[in-house]
Structure 1
Amino acid sequence: MAQEATGRGGRSAGRAGRAAGPRGFAFVGRERELAAVVGALTARPAVVLVQGEAGVGKSRLVAEASAVLRGRGVGSVLGGCHPLREPLPFGPVIDALETVGPLLRPDARIGAAAGALSPLLPDLADRLPPPPDGPADPAGRLRAVLGATRALLTAAAPVVLTVEDLHWADDATRELLLLLAGGLPDGVGLVLTFRGEEQAGPLLGKAFRRPAGTTLLDLALQRLDPAAVSRLAGSALGVRPTGELSRVLYERSAGLPLIAEEDLITLAAEPDAAERPELLGVPRSLREVLAARIEPLSGPAHALVEAAAVVAVPAREELLLRSADLTDAQGSDALVEALARSVLVEHAPDSYGFSHTLAGRAVYDGLPGPRRTRLHRRVLALLAAQDPPPLVQLAHHTRALGDTERWLVHARAAIDQALAVGDQGTAAMLLRQILDLPGLSTGELGEAARSLAEAIGYTAEATDATIAALRRIVATPGLAPAVRGEIRARIGNILRTRDGGSAGVEDLETAAGELEADNPAHAAKTLAVIASMDTGDATAAERSAWMDRALAIVDRIDDPETAAIVHTNRLVSLPACASPGVPGLIAALPRRSDNPRLLFTTVIGLSNAAEIALCVGLDGRVAAWAEEAVALGERAGLPGLVVYSSSYPVLLEWTSGNWQRWDTALAAYRTRFPDSPVTDTGLLGAAQGVVAAARGHAGEAAERFRRAVGQDATGVLTLPSAAGLARLSLAAADPDAAWQVLAPAVRLLRRRELWPFAFDLLPTAVETALLRGDRAAASALVTDHAAGTTGLECPGADAEHQLAEGLLLVEGSPVEAAAAFERARAGWLAIGRPYPAALAAERAAAAAGTADPEAAAAALTEAIAVLDGLGAVTDASRCRHRLRGLDRSKPRGPRDPAGLLSPRERQVADLLARGARNKDIAAALFLSERTAEHHVAAVLRKLDTTRKALRDAGR
């Protein structure tokens, strides 16, 4: 039976039973919400978002759901966010996982990836695999912790991970939770609670899209209605409250359970007030309710409560006693008194504080200024004496005292500690506070801004406000050019990563100029990056100029790492990527080095070379370069690059025509890399669209193409999906719609001079222009393509050029057109791509059909055999249609006996199994809808089945 655990610094997820909560209150007014949460967490993997104002009962709802699930054998772990958390990377999640031990069966198989958590979970170190040689960069640590968290939760499943008060989470924690939510293991639920009114921007840093197969519940918790408040009162008082009492309780609390409960504690202690609610005698605000609860306390207990409000976080008894300046005897009695009256609660063994942040804030705000100041000083001295000192809390108390100089010292120390342990989120929070400080010197301001830019560059998503703050600092008079350049370069990289397209490029180019004098290596790398970006609107000439500047800088400095980075980026720039010298340059990349950056550069070079080889039709080189990139990336601890490099062998199954193996390989890739950013974009996205269209699933194909194009319309790898969308419009006899999709892609093709890439864009654009009657545009494309590929090694582009030439010749010289199409076919076969070769053969047969019908029929028959083997039913059906048009005089063979499906009926049955409608079948097989209806009826009759049964069997 799974057990429940409690996260360090969090509330116990099982503290509240159905009948009574932590202070004796029944669970009322949330029955529907509880059912919804339990239902969602039963259908795991599941993500549950619970938002609501402070005190509305989010924690209680989660605790109730955990109790129900615990009775069904589902464990839970809990972590919470806090504004004064000490530095710990991904702290709230680590807090929760620290208590997962009781949920791990003795025979639990814990994946090797979980070893990355061993240093962060010392109490579980004996259960976890040894930590790997982790990557040093924050992004690498994030990936390692993500994989380890998944592995540990998988071992503990069924389990629910809850993180409360996410509005206080740092950016790194948000990013970890975003990635985790995007690929939860089976059997795992994730619950996130937050205050909507205190959450600026997306909860997890960027919009969360529910992954297929994951349950999502987004629940906004409302205040209790009057009837629920009355039931709450009855459970606390033991008797049904009078109508007057119920009315007063509801008016005072406005349905907020936290305030109603505080009133009910008072009523339970003063029975007369239950009959005469006016004896409560306090206004409706929580602050005054708490004041009424605190008033009867003894002097020592009162002092202890005030000290707890200033300490601000759950604390040990000793710290609270010393902060209140109480003896052990006084303090022990005072603490018992405060607990007995529910002013303070026990959060964990020897950890005491207010039941809710609002309660502590209410007490704190009610303290007179001199009293607050004395308490802050006393707490500060006590905390400073601890070993190690809690630096974030020290900074908090010195700031509250107005001691800017000491606050800066503690804040900087806390920042250094946070960065040392990889907690970029806490560092960024403190750096923002420093930037808001008036009177900082230019040097201090620049240093803080540079550090903040560094910290936020590795977190989920920098806000516009942060970017604006950095821009204001960049504009500060007197800032050193190199510092300004570093900050501006970070801004550019953040925008480039966050927004895509040309975002950040202007900042990066300007930064390179500012850096060149004092930091030429940084300047060269910056220029090389923007020269080789695969997105954006910069022209080929602009990119070439940036690369030339980078190379010129490299020539005058002695920096092997910078030289390697610049030259590797040069490999992927056009037209260098299709140069015959690329294999030699790849062979010269270092494979062994003590410098991890050099190995990182080599893996990037190998990975990019494999991708470009696919793009230009050099398929024979792809496997070796990709496999070496994967092996070296795994050895060097670069899992992010392994994700990209592992996709290219999958694509080879597609290009080589092994479409059944392609299905298997793609499924395995999804399983191995559930968070891969390229699974449904770029080349993989386009390939899935092409296969879906060929198999007769035009709707699925369109969706895949649109999704890929929608990622970034200025990205090079969106071009094949643009071509795929246009092909669907051409199949629907709508060349105008096709051109609407193609126009921006063609502009990008020209602007970037992407001529070596074989993305089907050129022949599709030429065919579309001809169908629209714009022969001049078609001819210009073919001419420019020839000029742009001269002297380059790009056999795929050469085959596409022959297709485009043939399209221009069809109308006036069909025999010459057929020859051009045949050359395209031969080119594709030489590369090893049977699918485009078969389509080229179809074009050749169509062009030569009238002149030599027998040769055309033979070519079509061969193409049909290839397409049938691939499962490309749409293309095979179109070829059969052409074949029938060549010679209708041949007698047909005998009809198939009843109960045996003809080849055509087998195609129809396959489409029915995939849920296709008659209209879809007609379009896929080039039939009229009426003919499709006859085939469907015959299939269902011969198989003695129904559409639904076929569809269910096909799942």
Structure 2
Amino acid sequence: MVLIEGEAGMGKSRLVREATAILKTEGWRVVTGFCHPLREPLPYGPVVDALGKVGPWLPATGLPPTAGALAPLLPDLADRLPAAPATLGHPGALRHQLIQAVRSVLDAVGRVILVVEDLHWADDATRELLLLLARDLPDQFALVVTYRAEDLPPGAAALGAAYRPPPGAGGTVIRLSPLTENDVADLAGAALGAQATPELCAVLHCRSEGLPLVAEEDLITLRDQACRDVRELERAEVPTGLQEAVTERLTSLSPTGAAVVDAAAVLAVPATEAQLAEIAGLDGDAAAEGLIDALRMAVLRETDTGRYAFRHVLAQQVAYRYIPGPRRARLHRRAIDELQTHDPVPLVQLAHHTLATGDRRGWLDQIEQAVDQAVTLGDTGTAATLLHRILDHPGVDTERRSQAALALARIVHYGVDYAVTVRELGSVLDDPQLPDAVRGEIRLGLGLVMVKVGADPAGFRELAHAVDELATQPHKAALAMVNLALYERDGAAAHAWDWQDRAERTVRDGADEMSRRAAPINRLILMARDGDAAVWPLLDRLPRRDAAGAVLGHATYALYALAEVAVQLGHDRRARALVVEVGALLDHAAHGRIECIPRVVELRLDLLAGRWTRLEDDYAAVAHAHPDVKQIKVDRALCQGHLAFVQGRRSLAHDHFATAAAAARGTSEVDVSIRIAAALAAFRLAEGDPQAAWAIAEPALSMVRGLRSWARTMDLLPVAAEAALACGHHALVERLVAEAESDLCDRDAPAASAELAVVRGLLLRATEPARAVEHFAEAQHRWQDVGRPYEVAKAAERRGEALTCSSPEDAAAHLADAAHGFTELGATGDAARCQHRLRELGVQTARRPGRRGYGSQLSPRELEVAELLVGGATNQDIAQTLFLSSRTVEKHVARVLAKLRTERKDIQSRLPHADRRGSHEPA
């Protein structure tokens, strides 16, 4: 991934041409697309233009069906591509299809470099496509973009704030700066040879101010006119930029050459000879003579498609300003007449020329037609750009302004950059001329994005405000209401069913059938949150593939939300099945904003199920692809913290838990706060600080009690109870158990029931250990049914601990089972704790094979220390995990580093994974 930044005329395109010429000799294939401000609607136009050149490299067979979505856009390649898939009639769905198609074609081509020039002119959709490609680069693919930083939106980055360099991929940002005097001297020497005197080079540098394009223009003039007189060059007016250099060339044109150049300057896009002749008002022979003159003077150039354009956009701008006003207006009118003969009519260009003639009403009509055309073609990026032009134009009447604002809000909602989406919608809302109904619909979109992507409580305030503004649009007001029903903070949970009932009443007698079908879907989420077992049979009634787009979108989101709740309740197998179904439905519903979230739920299920081998890598991939989604940041940090914690790397675990807490600050999601509190409290308990653990757990527990959400305590209840008991709050824990038992008696909440069994055991552990054992055994069996092996091992450990006084042999058996379970999972810290307890009971634990004299090899204990060091454990972590004194740990660490002949930071390279499994030899 290479980004090349530089102002106009700085040599970005030349650098790309020179570099790719070399790469082509090394077997790379290069395709180039160009962005420009008057592009007609075409989804991802610059990328599609570039892909139109890959025909000779496509395989005869084996292209995946997804590539067929490009067939309508690349008619010349239609016979090489699979059949186009069915159109889903939804902007988000079409976007998804096209993005998949682009990736499929790039994968099939092999070693290919995609160059996109002038990214500062790219529409939003093209920029988002490039962002998605850059986040997850296909194999054997390189992406190069050029842009001018000064022409990007204020504060914007080339690919948006959401771009992060992908892990493992090479790349750089190249910022081109002005040429030094020595650079200009080298350039002049290459062009003029020995006649490039120091005096001439100094004048060239002064005139160009280091801008390569200006220096090049002067050198072309000097070479073509055989002018080597420094005094003549000095007498010419010193340019401050390119204008004077281009103007000098314009004044040298013949009358017919000037007419052709004027026509090209007004058109502002590459044009055919016939177009230039028509607009210039020349017959064929005169136009040909003029075009030859413009080419000879290097004012125009021929493109690889047989059209003619200026050599640089700055040259076009200078030439345009050089045309007298009345002649400019006449040329624009001729351009309008010429463009209206095309089929289809290039509406964006037509609107540009219409506005240039002063016809504002005609311009608005054509811009609106161009927007409709772009949306129909799925080119939401061009549509958004055109809508911005309407909103930014002074004097647009309120009705048209409202229509443009609504259209923009609907388009922006499909963006992939959360920060940009919120900023765009917020800026539209700032327009004081918008009517309430329009403002309400836009605010509804803003609130939904804030809630579903950013987990921002402020989004619910926007939704509540939108309800009032949407009084005349009940079906849209109902959408705000059903989302308000899902908010649980600030006392809102008490009104959840009120909002849901109100939403259903609002649409019950309305004419909008989709709203009548969609609103009740939300009821299932509320039922599941309450632990109502009746919800699960109702899932089969949800509309799926035969539903209209909006209804299917609501149903898909509901299934995802139900998967989330199922995990919280302990229905892990059901949750995994729902996640799989959501993934399949997303291809049809195109609910772009939750495309990544089912994967996060799947990874959370992997964590709970003990599938830890690739978990951190999988989380890293999802986090990299979606850096602006708060839920991913939180889940990833919690996963990393849990894995570090169970492996004895407590310092690292605390850092990850703190990262999760920071990422979740201000979140609207109650379950996130509960999970973080449970993790941090468990950490403090392990550190031997129950007071700190209780201080963390108590506010979260109060939240659970206030919400009466005992069905979804998510590991908090046992941790809070253990901390409270250690602080002497026995009566409080008894009250908690009573509350939870009362609330759960008619709830379908397997995880909460298992947690409650643990807490009952903790209450009785000191006074009635036999009964405590029964409760721990119940918890162990319940966790086995749920499918969470780490919790099964923890329950076995508690069961063994409760038996140590009354039945040491049985205690040892359960502790051994726990140690085995932890070891199988890779929870080395927990396994070490159980083995230490077994040794205290006088049970000889199995050790790694070895002998008493280890010489230069690592002993079993040293190997344990080495493995913890590889994981980033501190000496204190090692001492706590292996139950050793600080002095003993220091000795072990010193011996390990000496035997491996390495330093602490390099130990991983000296202790490969294969060696850690069995051999004690240093690498």
**TM-score bin, normalised by smaller chain:** 0.7 to 0.9
* Paired position in structure 2 for 1:762: 717
Residue 368 in 1 paired to residue 324 in 2? yes
* Paired position in structure 2 for 1:792: 747
The one-letter code matched in structure 1 to 2:36 is H
437-446 or 743-752, which deviates more: 743-752
The question of whether the paired residues in 2 share the 8 Å contact of 1:395 and 1:410 is answered with yes
| Cα distance change of structure 1 residues 731 and 133 upon mapping to structure 2, 3 Å threshold | farther
Deviation at 1:752, TM superposition (A): 5.6
Query: Residues 554-609 of structure 1: CA distance to partner in whole angstroms, max 9, x if unpaired?
Result: 44446553244223222223664521111121132245635344444444444433
The one-letter code matched in structure 1 to 2:105 is L
**1:632 and 1:465 mapped to 2: Cα distance?**
29
Residue 203 in 1 paired to residue 158 in 2? yes
The one-letter code matched in structure 2 to 1:949 is R
* Paired position in structure 2 for 1:927: 884
The one-letter code matched in structure 2 to 1:89 is P
Query: Residues 866-896 of structure 1: CA distance to partner in whole angstroms, max 9, x if unpaired?
Result: 2122221111111122333344899999974
| Cα distance change of structure 1 residues 424 and 305 upon mapping to structure 2, 3 Å threshold | same
* Paired position in structure 1 for 2:757: 802
Deviation at 1:381, TM superposition (A): 1.6
**2:61 and 2:390 mapped to 1: Cα distance?**
47
**2:77 and 2:391 mapped to 1: Cα distance?**
39
* Paired position in structure 2 for 1:171: 124
Alignment of 1:330-345 (within 5 A): 330-345=286-301
**2:554 and 2:422 mapped to 1: Cα distance?**
31
| Cα distance change of structure 1 residues 311 and 734 upon mapping to structure 2, 3 Å threshold | farther
The question of whether the paired residues in 2 share the 8 Å contact of 1:532 and 1:570 is answered with no
694-703 or 173-182, which deviates more: 694-703
The question of whether the paired residues in 2 share the 8 Å contact of 1:654 and 1:687 is answered with yes
Aligned residues: 900
**2:322 and 2:739 mapped to 1: Cα distance?**
77
| Cα distance change of structure 1 residues 340 and 741 upon mapping to structure 2, 3 Å threshold | farther
The question of whether the paired residues in 2 share the 8 Å contact of 1:818 and 1:847 is answered with yes
The one-letter code matched in structure 1 to 2:11 is G
Query: Residues 636-679 of structure 1: CA distance to partner in whole angstroms, max 9, x if unpaired?
Result: 7879878655666665554344x3xx536887899899947799
The one-letter code matched in structure 1 to 2:100 is G
Query: Residues 742-762 of structure 1: CA distance to partner in whole angstroms, max 9, x if unpaired?
Result: 677567656665432242233
* Paired position in structure 1 for 2:447: 492
Q: Give the secondary structure class of the aligned counterpart of 2:458.
A: coil
The question of whether the paired residues in 1 share the 8 Å contact of 2:90 and 2:549 is answered with no
* Paired position in structure 2 for 1:35: none
Deviation at 1:682, TM superposition (A): 6.0
| Cα distance change of structure 1 residues 482 and 638 upon mapping to structure 2, 3 Å threshold | closer
**1:301 and 1:675 mapped to 2: Cα distance?**
52
* Paired position in structure 2 for 1:141: 94
| Cα distance change of structure 1 residues 712 and 487 upon mapping to structure 2, 3 Å threshold | same
The question of whether the paired residues in 1 share the 8 Å contact of 2:260 and 2:276 is answered with yes
Deviation at 1:222, TM superposition (A): 1.1
Query: Residues 376-422 of structure 1: CA distance to partner in whole angstroms, max 9, x if unpaired?
Result: 11212211222221100111111122211110111111111111111
Residue 182 in 1 paired to residue 135 in 2? yes
| Cα distance change of structure 1 residues 834 and 888 upon mapping to structure 2, 3 Å threshold | closer
Residue 119 in 1 paired to residue 72 in 2? yes
Deviation at 1:274, TM superposition (A): 4.2
* Paired position in structure 2 for 1:44: none
Alignment of 1:271-310 (within 5 A): 271-276=226-231, 277-310=233-266
Residue 691 in 1 paired to residue 643 in 2? yes
Residue 347 in 1 paired to residue 303 in 2? yes
Q: Give the secondary structure class of the aligned counterpart of 1:532.
A: coil
* Paired position in structure 2 for 1:131: 84
Alignment of 1:724-803 (within 5 A): 724-733=679-688, 749=704, 754-768=709-723, 785=740, 789-803=744-758
Residue 476 in 1 paired to residue 433 in 2? yes
Q: Give the secondary structure class of the aligned counterpart of 2:146.
A: strand
Residue 152 in 1 paired to residue 129 in 2? no
Match of 2:493 among 528, 534, 540: 540
The question of whether the paired residues in 2 share the 8 Å contact of 1:821 and 1:844 is answered with yes
Deviation at 1:232, TM superposition (A): 0.8
* Paired position in structure 2 for 1:65: 19
**2:622 and 2:422 mapped to 1: Cα distance?**
34
Query: Residues 322-345 of structure 1: CA distance to partner in whole angstroms, max 9, x if unpaired?
Result: 222122111111111111111111
Q: Give the secondary structure class of the aligned counterpart of 2:711.
A: coil
Unaligned runs of 5+ in 2: 917-923
The question of whether the paired residues in 2 share the 8 Å contact of 1:678 and 1:685 is answered with no
| Cα distance change of structure 1 residues 108 and 537 upon mapping to structure 2, 3 Å threshold | farther
733-742 or 215-224, which deviates more: 733-742
* Paired position in structure 2 for 1:249: 204
Residue 384 in 1 paired to residue 340 in 2? yes
Alignment of 1:320-331 (within 5 A): 320-331=276-287
Match of 2:824 among 850, 865, 869: 869
Unaligned runs of 5+ in 1: 1-46
Alignment of 1:894-933 (within 5 A): 896=851, 907-908=864-865, 910-911=867-868, 921-932=878-889
**1:313 and 1:79 mapped to 2: Cα distance?**
14
**1:219 and 1:708 mapped to 2: Cα distance?**
34
| Cα distance change of structure 1 residues 879 and 417 upon mapping to structure 2, 3 Å threshold | same
* Paired position in structure 1 for 2:921: none
| Cα distance change of structure 1 residues 919 and 847 upon mapping to structure 2, 3 Å threshold | same
**1:547 and 1:947 mapped to 2: Cα distance?**
55
Deviation at 1:447, TM superposition (A): 1.7
* Paired position in structure 1 for 2:170: 215
**1:890 and 1:607 mapped to 2: Cα distance?**
45
Deviation at 1:485, TM superposition (A): 2.5
Q: Give the secondary structure class of the aligned counterpart of 2:219.
A: helix
Q: Give the secondary structure class of the aligned counterpart of 2:679.
A: helix
Match of 2:221 among 252, 266, 271: 266
| Cα distance change of structure 1 residues 484 and 155 upon mapping to structure 2, 3 Å threshold | same
557-566 or 367-376, which deviates more: 557-566
Query: Residues 838-892 of structure 1: CA distance to partner in whole angstroms, max 9, x if unpaired?
Result: 2133234445544554443332122112212222111111112233334489999
Alignment of 1:540-619 (within 5 A): 540-557=493-510, 561-573=514-526, 576-591=529-544, 593=546, 595-619=548-572
* Paired position in structure 2 for 1:663: 613
* Paired position in structure 2 for 1:950: 911
Deviation at 1:182, TM superposition (A): 0.7
The one-letter code matched in structure 1 to 2:783 is W
* Paired position in structure 2 for 1:318: 274
Q: Give the secondary structure class of the aligned counterpart of 2:173.
A: strand
Query: Residues 727-773 of structure 1: CA distance to partner in whole angstroms, max 9, x if unpaired?
Result: 34443445677678767756765666543224223333444566677
| Cα distance change of structure 1 residues 238 and 773 upon mapping to structure 2, 3 Å threshold | farther
**1:129 and 1:704 mapped to 2: Cα distance?**
46
**1:71 and 1:751 mapped to 2: Cα distance?**
69
| Cα distance change of structure 1 residues 711 and 400 upon mapping to structure 2, 3 Å threshold | farther
**1:698 and 1:457 mapped to 2: Cα distance?**
41
**1:439 and 1:893 mapped to 2: Cα distance?**
82
The question of whether the paired residues in 2 share the 8 Å contact of 1:158 and 1:187 is answered with yes
806-815 or 826-835, which deviates more: 806-815
The question of whether the paired residues in 2 share the 8 Å contact of 1:586 and 1:605 is answered with no
> TM (normalized to structure 2)?
0.87
**2:358 and 2:141 mapped to 1: Cα distance?**
46
**1:917 and 1:951 mapped to 2: Cα distance?**
20
Query: Residues 685-704 of structure 1: CA distance to partner in whole angstroms, max 9, x if unpaired?
Result: 64454334323455665565
**1:943 and 1:253 mapped to 2: Cα distance?**
61
Query: How large is the Cα RMSD of the aligned pairs?
Result: 3.8
The question of whether the paired residues in 2 share the 8 Å contact of 1:682 and 1:717 is answered with no
**1:237 and 1:268 mapped to 2: Cα distance?**
7
**2:287 and 2:395 mapped to 1: Cα distance?**
42
| Cα distance change of structure 1 residues 314 and 697 upon mapping to structure 2, 3 Å threshold | farther
**2:732 and 2:161 mapped to 1: Cα distance?**
41
> TM (normalized to structure 1)?
0.85
Residue 504 in 1 paired to residue 504 in 2? no
Aligned-pair identity (%): 42
The question of whether the paired residues in 2 share the 8 Å contact of 1:80 and 1:92 is answered with yes
